[in-house]
Amino acid sequence: MPKSSKVTQRELSNEHVTESVADLLALEAPMDYKSSQMSMNMAGGGPPPIGKPDISPDLEDGRPAWNSKLQYILAQVGFSVGLGNVWRFPYLCQKNGGGAYLVPYFILLILIGIPLFFLELAVGQRIRRGSIGVWNYVYPRLGGIGVSSLMVCGFVGLYYNVIIGWSIFYFFQSFQYPLPWSECPIRRNGSQAIVEPECEKSSATTYFWYRETLNITSTIADSGGLNWRMTLSLLGAWIIVCLAVIKGIQSSGKVMYFSSLFPYVVLFCFLVRGIFLKGAVDGIAHMFTPKLEIMLEPQVWREAATQVFFALGLGFGGVIAFSSYNKRDNNCHFDAVLVSVINFVTSILATLVVFAVLGFKANVMNEKCVVDYTFHCKILSMNAEKILGYLNSNVLSQDLIPPHVNFSHLTSSDYAEMYGVIKIVKEDSFAQLGLEPCLLEDELNKAGAVQGTGLAFIAFTEAMTHFPASPFWSVMFFFMLINLGLGSMIGTMTGESSCNLYDLIFLPVGCCIVAFLCGLLFVQRSGNYFVAMFDDYSAGLPLTIVVILENVSVAWIYGTKRFMQDLEDMLGFRPYSVYFYLWKYVSPVCLLILIFATVVEMAISPPGYNAWVQDLAMERFQSYPPWALAMCFSLIIVAMLPLPLVFIARHYNWLPDGSNKLSVSYRKSLAKEASTLEDETRFILGKNPSEAPSPMPSHRAYLGPGSTSPVELITNSTSISGYGSGYQTNPAPPKSES
């Protein structure tokens, strides 16, 4: 007798009746909606059966799984640790009080960073769907959360991969000595050779970035046509990303082993090399010297909250997508704390490296203020020459020069001593002398005041030109940037592609092709201005609203108590009670304050961009023209539009409830179960499978608890003709039980 059948005896009768599993299930009492749990289990949410630790369909629902816990952690670390840790965090640290900035950052990491990161990990792991499917299940009327998250992922991915393209270009340019940005180009004017004026007015690295790399226009209105070198670099970047995500976590998981670990190797190499450079200790000391008076300013806390928010990748969907491939009994609380700590430590490590190198650069520039090295000969700078001229013309007395000062071996300390004496004695006429102070502190402030592309492609590259074996360090640095960007892009693409369709290989390929074509906007000669526009407007406010709605939908609509109970069932232990209050009260309040501060900042700051003026060889702020301003606000509106649209459509039943649709892989596994169950039923009835007619119509949809039979349910959902019909495995989301 088949193992799925059961022999029972009717009351008042000796006749044995063989009932199939289908018959027993058909007589089962309907499910209680209020007692339902956040689970994809048809039977109730127990732990999944133990399977082999390889990337294969999960035994429970056919969803792929990670090779190992290490691969999963590396994927989450690779997604959360990105370019912002290297070129955004050091800038904010220097700007907002040095070491004092670490205090508000760490406090906000505890209050909103780890709790919300834990929430996204737990929801993805429990429901085992992508970002759209998760929020459709939790509360269908807020299903627009997943769509908005998808829109933001798309906007960010478009310009983020352009930065990877820039890094690829610099990477290949680094295979030459001397580095092409180490000296200004010489232009021939007849028989006379002159330095390129634009380069002479700025610097060699600045000129190479704006003119050789971007070939930038002076306004956003002048597109200038495509920059073919950047177009090829962007194409290469999208090919790399496509190959990394083409087979889902089967391909991206293997890439993460290298792309997540290699940046740490480079950072440690730079740190070891950097601390032995002259001036490195000065740079590190400058960064960590706390300015306590700045720490209490509201702007510092707002920027710390924003950095915590984006550093962990909250709201992008990548965190949820990655965790959905875990087993349900995985300890996601440990994962949340571990990844958050790794992210924080990485930011500190990157800041040490950046300020060690920038300290070296500041020291070099400070020495150039006093003496210069031209053609390997030590010559006096303009400031020292001015002092000598004033001494020869008797404007300054020889008595003002300390006796130990030797102009043929002038040091920075000697110049500083002379400068101080002259400033005191000639107080009334000192301004007319035109002497520069040449203070290391000023150079450090100048070096630390750059961020983003200015730090990576101008300040840091200039510092590396002074390294011994500079091409080697340049290759390592830009290869690190490529890997940091690739890890974040894999998470972004996974968030886009995991909408219950990730089994289809053509989806990530199609996404990459469309994204490359859209990304041509950013490889025009004016493309850098659009990168800045998307960076300022496409993610900040929409993503904050997405995350607060995620928090509210779980803590207030689904219910914090019920969610804590689900976590206890899933993890085997109850999370700390403090999470109850953080999710329900603290995090929503903090996010509301952040949204308010962001709106105020956008209102008081004039919308514009820093345009490169070729004649002046410097940046100048310009306001956006009306069409560009409309484009800025369109980015915000388009990203947030799915939220009200989905809510209204589902409220009036214009849009079907997407909370109970199954993934393709799950439906394939159910097809096999349906075939086996039907064969057993026909065998019990005494008919050969080939002779028995199909017991149920093939096009009749399952309407949830109370409908006829699970055999009909499975037959309908797995039939080819009814593949798109609604299939419900879970009851409707329960009412809130806070």
- At residue 393, what are phi and psi to the nearest 5 degrees? -95, 10
User: How many H helices and E strands in the chain?
Assistant: 34, 8
255 is in an annotated binding site: no
In whole angstroms, give the CA distance from residue 21 to residue 3.
Answer: 10
Q: How many residues does the chain have?
A: 738
User: Are 18 and 26 a contacting pair, CB within 8 Å?
Assistant: no
Cross-strand partners of 379: 372
The string over 216-233, giving b where at least 16 C-beta atoms fall within 10 Å of a residue's C-beta and e elsewhere, is: bbbbbeeeeeebebbbeb
- 600 residue type, one letter: V
Q: Give the torsion sign (CA, 670, 672, 675, 681).
A: negative
81 is in an annotated binding site: yes
In whole angstroms, give the CA distance from residue 167 to residue 480.
Answer: 9
In whole angstroms, give the CA distance from residue 569 to residue 563.
Answer: 10
CA atoms within 13 A on the CB side of 318: 31
Cα–chain-centroid distance for residue 125?
A: 20
484 is in an annotated binding site: yes
In whole angstroms, give the CA distance from residue 300 to residue 303.
Answer: 5
Tokens (6 digits) for 545? 């609203």
In whole angstroms, give the CA distance from residue 150 to residue 546.
Answer: 11
DSSP code, position 407: G
Q: Quick count: other Cβ atoms within 10 Å of Cβ 33?
A: 14
Name 504's Cβ contacts closer than 8 Å, sequence gap at least 6: 664
DSSP string, 188-229: EETTEEEE-HHHHHS-HHHHIIIIIIS---SSTT----B-HH
Closest CA to 78 of 288, 422, 326, 313: 313
CA Rg value for the chain: 32
The H-or-E segment that residue 299 falls in is helix 298-311
* Angle at the Cα of 118 from the Cα atoms of 117 and 119, rounded to 5 degrees: 90
In whole angstroms, give the CA distance from residue 267 to residue 89.
Answer: 15
Closest CA to 465 of 617, 360, 355: 360
DSSP string, 146-194: HHHHHHHHHHHHHHHHHHHHHHHHHHHHTSSSS-TTSSPPEEEETTEEE
Tokens (6 digits) for 37? 């749990």
Closest CA to 108 of 291, 245, 242, 308: 308
Is the peptide bond prior to 178 cis by the omega test (within 30 degrees of 0)?
Answer: yes
User: Are 689 and 677 a contacting pair, CB within 8 Å?
Assistant: no
DSSP code, position 658: G
Closest CA to 729 of 137, 21, 42: 42
Cross-strand partners of 7: 18
Closest CA to 609 of 591, 595, 621: 621
Place of tokens 């290391």: 440
Please give the annotated binding residues for Na(+), written as ranges. 78, 81, 85, 343, 484, 488
Please give the annotated binding residues, written as ranges. 78, 81, 85, 343, 484, 488
